[in-house]
Amino acid sequence: MRIFEARIAVVTFLALVPAAHAEDVTDAVPGHPGVTYETLLRQAMPDLAKSTDGHWTSSKLMRLRGLDGKPETDADLAFDDITPIKLREGGHERLAVLTGDSQTGSGFSAVLAVFDAAPATPKLLDYMDVGGDRFVGLGSPKTLAIAADSDAVIVDNNHFNSNQNYSQDTILYLDRGRLRVAFTQFTLNSGFCGYEERQVPVYSVHDVKGSKYRAISVSVTQTVTRSDETCDEGTKILKASKHTYTDVYSWDAKKNDFVTHTNAMKALMQPDE
């Protein structure tokens, strides 16, 4: 990766952060009279409390695991709001609740908790630490219909500096009420003297005959655009180019998982010089 003098304002990268509808922890859960999101989250976070500085905190999450599936014992949550979203699993209605951006300096944990929405008080099914970067939210699109009666949800982690925006999308789905990761996709947007480099992901699904789930395609279009800036002598500027790279993740019944036999993204970070 080449680092040159930054010429792009931070606002350029702010526009790349996906918007999501955040709600307060004390808000009522639609369709469930007398139930708030605080009530639901306490099923996963029994010590959930509002600190003196106004953040919601929790540090006693039992059986918490990360995106790699490994147990986590030191997650320290501090967040201001939550984002709820409805999902389907085999025709059953689920409610997912994602905690907001980390407000603690000890890490970037964020919890995605999933509930069975059928009972009067939705029942906790599973939860996972899906954090990993400064900002966390639902991706674009927020969900993918991986079957006629089932959805996957996309969680995006990102951060930016003066001339770069780093983003990682994680596609998660439910298997018998348990959260599982289908795959992750990293993209990078950069602005240097003389050019901008953008990587824009697009997700889609398509039917596969006889398969439990539809295949998930991710296509990333990488564009290098030249500018007429005057740069320091010797500055290496990439050629203008545009390429699209696509990987397909299909359901493997034997492995009980999404797998890919393509490796198109290997070339993603290698634009034309």
Chain mean pLDDT for the chain: 89
| 54 in Cβ contact with 66 (< 8 Å) | no
**CA nearest to 173, candidates 249, 264, 110, 60:** 249
| pLDDT of res. 46 | 94
Task: Give strand pairing partners of 196.
Answer: 191, 225
Q: The whole model's pTM is what?
A: 0.88
Residues in the chain: 273
Distance of CA 82 to the CA centre of its chain: 14
State the DSSP string of 211-226: -SS-EEEEEEEEEEEE
pLDDT higher than 60, residue 13: no
| Confidence band, pLDDT 50/70/90 cuts, at residue 105 | confident
| pLDDT of res. 228 | 86
**CA nearest to 37, candidates 129, 99, 126, 119:** 99
| pLDDT of res. 240 | 92
| pLDDT of res. 270 | 60
| Secondary structure E strands in 102-238 | 111-116, 123-129, 135-147, 150-160, 164-175, 178-192, 195-206, 215-226
Residues whose CB falls within 8 Å of the CB of residue 132, separated by 6 or more in sequence, listed in order: 67, 108, 157, 168
Give the other-Cβ count within 10 Å of 240's Cβ: 13
| pLDDT of res. 269 | 65
pLDDT higher than 90, residue 207: yes
pLDDT higher than 80, residue 236: yes
d(C-alpha 39, C-alpha 123), whole Å: 10
